[in-house]
């Protein structure tokens, strides 16, 4: 916007001196209006993202400590095996799936005990009345007994419950394997995106430098009346597009980092 405003002043001065047409000033004003609309769109998108961030994390204040997005705690972004292993240890989905297997095993260990013979010792000590001839008098009383329970026939119930346990355990194992495969796929995609956007950001710096030099040359030519105003506008537009692409790469890289952090299971806010 500052470059366009500066160009607008130059065009207005040339118009006063008779070195430019009014069409040039109108064109610059149109470009300024278009850029302001883009700015409003980007600010609206930013505010929406901030609202989603507040809703997702519960954080209502933003400062330099929680906006640098340096939340990845892995040594090597290319070591997918390390990331998957860390996800298995910290991600809640893996913990819940593994816990289902533990609960299934515990339920089976408890249920199968009901099919074993059991020896029970019964004891009771206290005061009791109702003895003849003085039924109202309380007398010391005790009871000792032993009971033995031995299931003989359950109608195949034990076998059916064992089969159910084995099927449930197999299902839990398959769920864990499927979950791991899905996370391996998503982690591979996220790491590939991070590496891709990192490379693009490195490459776009050279493009920005070249576009900046081209803009400076076009500006100097336009000031000296050698170049047309359209040439300067094109050079400025090219630079803005490249810088916008760089910002988009940073934004997409940030989203990929957040996604990878979510897959790992780290709480970064």
Neighbours of 255 (CB within 10 A): 16
pLDDT tens-digit series, residues 122-159: 888 888 887 777 777 888 888 888 887 777 776 677 78
Contact between 202 and 94 (Cβ < 8 Å): no
Indicate the fold that domain 2-93+167-264 takes in CATH.
Outer membrane efflux proteins (OEP) (1.20.1600)
User: Is 265's pLDDT higher than 90?
Assistant: no
How far apart (Å, rounded) are the C-alpha atoms in residues 232 and 220?
A: 9
- The residue that leads in pLDDT, 195 or 32, is 195
Residue that has been written with the tokens 């519960």 in this structure: 58
Band of pLDDT at residue 174, cut at 50, 70 and 90: very high
Question: What are the respective helix, strand and coil percentages of the chain, to the nearest 5?
Answer: 70, 10, 20
Domain boundaries along the sequence of the chain:
2-93+167-264, 117-150
Q: In b/e form, how buried is each residue of 188-198, taking b as 16+ CB within 10 angstroms?
A: eebbebbeebe
User: Is 226's pLDDT higher than 80?
Assistant: no
Q: What is the pLDDT of residue 269?
A: 58
DSSP-derived letter for residue 144 is E
Q: What is the pLDDT of residue 67?
A: 54
Q: What is the pTM of this model?
A: 0.63
DSSP string, 197-225: HHHHHHHHHHHHHHHHHHHHHHHHHHHTT
Contact between 35 and 1 (Cβ < 8 Å): yes
Q: Is 212 exposed, middle or buried (0-12, 13-18, 19+ CB in 10 A)?
A: middle
How far apart (Å, rounded) are the C-alpha atoms in residues 267 and 97?
A: 20
Here the tokens at position 28 are 């610059």
Average pLDDT score, the chain: 79
Q: What is the pLDDT of residue 43?
A: 83
Band of pLDDT at residue 13, cut at 50, 70 and 90: low
Q: What is the pLDDT of residue 114?
A: 75
């Amino acid at each position: 916007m500052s470059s366009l405003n500066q160009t607008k002043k130059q065009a207005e001065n040339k118009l006063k001196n008779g070195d430019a047409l009014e069409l040039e000033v109108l064109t610059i004003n149109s470009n300024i209006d278009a850029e302001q609309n883009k700015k409003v769109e980007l600010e609206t998108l930013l505010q929406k993202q901030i609202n989603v961030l507040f809703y997702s994390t519960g954080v209502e204040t933003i400062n330099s400590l929680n906006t640098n997005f340096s939340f990845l705690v892995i040594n090597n972004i290319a070591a997918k095996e390390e990331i998957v292993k860390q996800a298995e240890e910290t991600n809640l989905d893996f913990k819940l799936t593994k816990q289902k297997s533990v609960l299934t095993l515990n339920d089976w260990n408890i249920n199968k005990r009901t099919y074993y013979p059991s020896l029970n010792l019964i004891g009771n000590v206290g005061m009791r009345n109702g003895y003849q001839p003085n039924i109202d008098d309380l007398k010391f009383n005790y009871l000792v007994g032993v009971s033995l329970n031995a299931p003989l026939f359950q109608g195949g119930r034990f076998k059916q419950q064992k089969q159910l346990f084995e099927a449930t355990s197999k299902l839990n194992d398959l769920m864990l394997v499927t979950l791991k495969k899905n996370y391996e796929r998503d982690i591979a995609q996220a790491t590939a995106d991070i590496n891709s956007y990192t490379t693009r950001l490195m490459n776009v710096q050279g493009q920005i430098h070249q576009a900046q030099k081209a803009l400076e040359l076009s500006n100097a030519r336009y000031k000296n009346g050698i170049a047309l105003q359209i040439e300067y506008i094109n050079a400025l537009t090219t630079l803005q597009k490249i810088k916008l692409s760089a910002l988009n790469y940073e934004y997409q890289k940030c989203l990929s980092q957040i996604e990878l952090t979510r897959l790992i299971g780290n709480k970064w806010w």
